[in-house]
Amino acid sequence: AQSVTQPDIHITVSEGASLELRCNYSYGATPYLFWYVQSPGQGLQLLLKYFSGDTLVQGIKGFEAEFKRSQSSFNLRKPSVHWSDAAEYFCAVGAGNTPLVFGKGTRLSVIA
Amino acid sequence: GAGVSQSPSNKVTEKGKDVELRCDPISGHTALYWYRQRLGQGLEFLIYFQGNSAPDKSGLPSDRFSAERTGESVSTLTIQRTQQEDSAVYLCASSFSRGREKLFFGSGTQLSVL
């Protein structure tokens, strides 16, 4: 069965610093990969997704993620974090018609 | 509507009572999902509806949980004889179809079982 691991439960970064959130997956087939963000009091919102092709994908709000098949990873990055980026971030994996499997999330705190 | 709507936003109930949670998906979305999010945990898949196909109930944790969907519109998740471990945020999402499509999530129902 597929699984998603987000090794970091909580990360704190300074505003303006770079950010990388880790995601590793286990899946037998070629997966579809997603990053969602859950801001306080708001529903989950899709940041970006990877299906095929270019392994570096761009998303909203200046985020990007790189699919590395050899490492079974799909890490999320942002070059310069803004205070409004403080939220919970979820990596998710799916394939074919299977329902999306989500990781446990990484909570991002941003300090001045 | 403009987005996925869930009601109620908060529900407090006593152990042993039944609860019903409602989800109004985005008009035209054939796929509808229910997920559960316990405190500090990821999203746990519960059930999936796609058009008129038989629902995928593989994620329902026990027979106390059931869900219905009328056509391609409203869905109701019912939890019978609630237990304290049922306390969680219940999230509904919809999309045009399964697989690659982006999910649009509602704001969830916070269920607290006392």
pLDDT of A52 above 60: yes
**Residue-wise pLDDT tens digits, B75-95:** 999 999 999 999 999 999 998
Q: Do A103 and B107 touch (CB under 8 A)?
A: no
Tell whether B28 lies on the interface with A, counting CB pairs under 8 A. Answer: no
B40, B48, B108: residue with CB nearest A43: B108
Distance, in angstroms, between B49 CA and closest chain A CA? 11
Q: Do A101 and B3 touch (CB under 8 A)?
A: no
Average pLDDT over residues A56-75: 95
- Residue A71's pLDDT band (boundaries 50, 70, 90)? very high
Higher pLDDT, A26 or A77: A77
Tell whether B102 lies on the interface with A, counting CB pairs under 8 A. Answer: yes
DSSP string, B16-53: T--EEEEEEPPTT--EEEEEEE-TT--EEEEEEEETTS
Tokens representing residue A7 in the block: 């090794």
Q: Would you put residue B64 in left (φ > 0), alpha (ψ -120 to 50) or beta? A: alpha
Edge-first strand order for the sheet with B75-79 is B5-7, B19-24, B75-79, B65-69
pLDDT of A69 above 60: yes
- Residue A96's pLDDT band (boundaries 50, 70, 90)? confident
pLDDT of B98 above 90: no
Q: What is the DSSP letter of A79?
A: S
Lowest mean pLDDT among A56-60, A94-98, B33-37, B94-98: A94-98
Average pLDDT over residues A54-66: 95
- Residue B60's pLDDT band (boundaries 50, 70, 90)? very high
User: How many other CB atoms are found less than 10 A from the CB of residue B26?
Assistant: 17
Tell whether A70 lies on the interface with B, counting CB pairs under 8 A. Answer: no
Name A48's bridge partners.
A35
Note the pLDDT of residue B100.
67
User: Mean pLDDT of all residues in chain A?
Assistant: 92
Give chain B's radius of gyration (CA, Å). Answer: 13
Note the pLDDT of residue B90.
97
Residues of B in contact with A102 (CB under 8 A): 35, 42-44
**Residue-wise pLDDT tens digits, B99-110:** 667 889 999 999
Contacts of A11 (CB under 8 A, 6+ apart): A19, A21, A106, A107, A108, A109
For residues B2, B4, B8, B9, the Cα torsion angle rounded to the nearest 10 degrees is -90
**Share of residues in chain A with pLDDT > 90 (%):** 74
Apex B104 CA angle, A106 and A73, nearest 5: 40
Distance, in angstroms, between B79 CA and closest chain A CA? 21
**Residue-wise pLDDT tens digits, B1-53:** 579 999 999 999 999 999 999 999 999 898 999 999 998 788 899 999 988 88
Residues of B in contact with A43 (CB under 8 A): 3-4, 91, 105-108
Note the pLDDT of residue A84.
94
Tell whether A96 lies on the interface with B, counting CB pairs under 8 A. Answer: yes
